[in-house]
Amino acid sequence: MSDQELRNELKAPVEPLLPIEKKLIGWSLGIGVALLVLLVIINHFLPVA
Amino acid sequence: MHEVHVVCAHGRVETGELSMSEAALSPNAPVAPRLGEDGLAVIVGIGVLILALVSLYGPDLLGWAVTTSVWADPTKALGAVSKAYAGLGGAGALVTTYLALLVVLSAGAAALGAEVRKFAVAFTVVFIIAYASWFVGSWAYIATVTPADQAKFGVSWSLRLTNEGGYIVALIVGLVIANAFPRFADWLKDAIRPELYIKIAIVLLGAFIAVTAAGKLTLASSLLLRGVAAIVEAYLIYWSVVYFIARKWFGFSREWAAPLASGVSICGVAAAIATGGAIRARPQVPVLVSSLVVIFAVVEVLILPFLAQTFLSSQPLVAAAWIGLAVKTDGAAVAAGGITESLVLAKAAAEGINYQPGWLIAVTTTVKVFIDIFIGVWAFILAYIWTNHINVKAGGEKAKASEIWERFPKFVLGFIVTFAAGLALALGGAGPKLAAAVGEANTFRVIFFILTFFSIGVLTDFRKLWREGFGKLAAVYLVSLFGFVIWVGLIISWLFFAGVKPPLVG
């Protein structure tokens, strides 16, 4: 990919976030934070031996 | 510019027009290889371990491997790892090790579809420069840490990089070649295979970690459970935040944002390429992202282990987990884990605390391997979303569950096999003979680490950062990595590993 092509690509009009992308971001973050909280609780009750 | 073939993580070969250093990321593969790098790494790693384990029941087949001690007198630096081969002398051990690696890796290069003669010539030069760097790094002025060691070697000062400072020397030498002598770097590229070298090293590391863990099995299993947090963090938290930053703040298209998010969040090159394949991006996109990953991984390797030593030496396993979460690409992360272990253990030893070696690198490797395992699953999820909701085409190709296996990093299986074998033998009471045998295999692990560091340096062309348009990609990486990833990684490492210490020697 030439410098010119790369520059043109990166200056292309912004694609708005689709609902499915928003769902992907939201669900990933939500599940991730929930699982981490769960793991922290497990870590608390089952400390490293 | 060259028309090159990009061997993707899933084994398919795609083509695209790439610059010289981009091409170096995926060395010449004019035809689809009969064996992938993962398969080769498993064969070589397990092969070395089997040869080492023969000494449990019979002759010592690998005792000739060269090892380097910290030196003030260079004639006393090199030697064979086993006393049984002391007659070889340092130079004899070095030449024997080189010839053995040359034969095995040239056969491997042939199996990968590379030109054997070109590989052999380039590998010879790579080995000479890389091992010379390691040798220099073991000089007492660079390696000694404690005043007692300095007195022993008769030096009044030292850079205190430990005897693994040679990794940093190899990396810097590689960087100098890449940035000051690009034509020489291009000439070397047939033997510049950091992913292959580190995968062999990780397979070998499995047995070493098993022998270390066998002594404290409860602690080891507790640490393994905590590795699960790394998977959640990398895939669900890092990825979504970096993707959002790339799309919303920097206005990148989906085709660029997804591989970029995977490169920053998961495990660098392999994840960027797997994601590129999953969302059907043009092959140039993940390759450009991968070149960025390598550049920033080098910056991290040069900075983070020293920060870990300075600020986290009282929490060694927090430091180890943090390195595994923060440094991208397997090679850079596991190698940085090795340096971090040396630096942190040396600082602790200077304060009178002698931790058992092996635990820090075990945690870093576990974190990295756990993350690697799910690349295929994540690529499948993205492929499903992209083909069904974003790039929907009538009669278009849909995501297949078989892609999970296709994108699974097969070298992880080698790690599991050597870990299981090492653990079974250790629990079976193989004792000191096993430790000696695995120590011989570990000598080769160190050599593959050295080759990895040098190769990463040779692939890192900092001039790319000034390439027009590249700055915006680098900006996303910079903001995400240094503004978010390393800090969240530190918090989560602290939550799960604070207060947990490696066992003490004796």
- Averaged pLDDT score across all residues of chain A: 85
Nearest of B357, B414, B439, B444 to residue B53 by alpha carbon: B439
Question: Which candidate from A9, A26, A43 shows the least CB-CB separation from B226?
Answer: A43
Residues of B in contact with A31 (CB under 8 A): 236
Residue A10 lies in a domain: no
Residue A46 within any structural domain of the chain: yes
Interface with A, mutate which of B378, B468, B488 (most A CBs under 10 A): B468
DSSP code at position B484: I
Task: Identify all chain A residues contacting B496, using CB atoms and an 8 Å cutoff.
Answer: 39-40, 43
The H or E element spanning position B456 is: helix B431-459
Give the model's pLDDT for residue A3: 67
Q: What is the ipTM of this complex?
A: 0.92
Alpha-carbon gap: B139 to the closest alpha carbon of chain A (Å): 39
Tell me the three state secondary structure of residue B71. strand
Number of domains in chain A: 1
What residues make up the domain containing A26?
Answer: 16-49
Which H helix or E strand runs over B4? strand B2-7
Please tell me which residue of chain A has the smallest CA distance to B378: A28
**Distance of residue B102 Cα from the nearest chain A Cα, in angstroms:** 35
- Give the pLDDT of residue B234: 87
B247 touches chain A (CB under 8 A): yes
Cα-Cα-Cα-Cα torsion B303, B307, B313, B316, nearest 10 degrees, comes to -60
Among B222, B229, B472, whose Cβ lies nearest the Cβ of A10? B472
Instruction: Give residue for tokens 């002759």.
Output: B59
Q: What is the reported pLDDT for B395?
A: 66
Domain contains A1: no
In a domain, A31, yes or no: yes
What is the reported pLDDT for B396?
65
Q: Is A6 part of a structural domain of the chain?
A: no
**Is A21 inside a domain boundary?**
yes
- Tell me, what amino acid is at B341? E
pLDDT in tens, chain B (506 residues): 333 333 333 333 333 333 333 333 444 444 455 678 889 999 999 999 999 999 998 899 999 999 999 999 999 999 999 999 999 999 999 999 999 999 999 999 999 999 999 999 999 999 999 999 999 999 999 988 778 888 999 999 988 888 788 898 999 999 999 999 999 999 999 999 988 998 999 899 899 888 888 877 778 887 777 788 888 888 999 999 999 999 999 999 999 999 999 999 987 777 888 898 888 888 788 878 887 888 888 888 889 999 999 999 999 999 999 999 999 888 788 889 989 999 999 999 888 899 998 999 999 998 888 888 888 889 889 988 998 888 877 666 677 777 777 777 888 899 999 999 999 999 887 778 898 999 999 999 999 999 998 998 998 888 776 665 678 888 888 899 889 999 999 999 999 899 889 999 87
Structural domain contains residue A41: yes
pLDDT at B32: 52
Name the pTM for this structure: 0.79
- Angle subtended at Cα B124 by Cα B66 and Cα B445, rounded to the nearest 5 degrees: 40
Cβ neighbours of A33 in B, within 8 Å: 237
d(CA B307, CA B340): 9
- Give start and end residues of each alpha helix (H) in B235-352: 239-244, 254-265, 268-278, 284-312, 316-326, 330-350
β B13-18/B2-7 pair status = antiparallel
Helix axis angle for B470-480 and B284-312, nearest 10°, is 40
d(CA B460, CA B428): 45
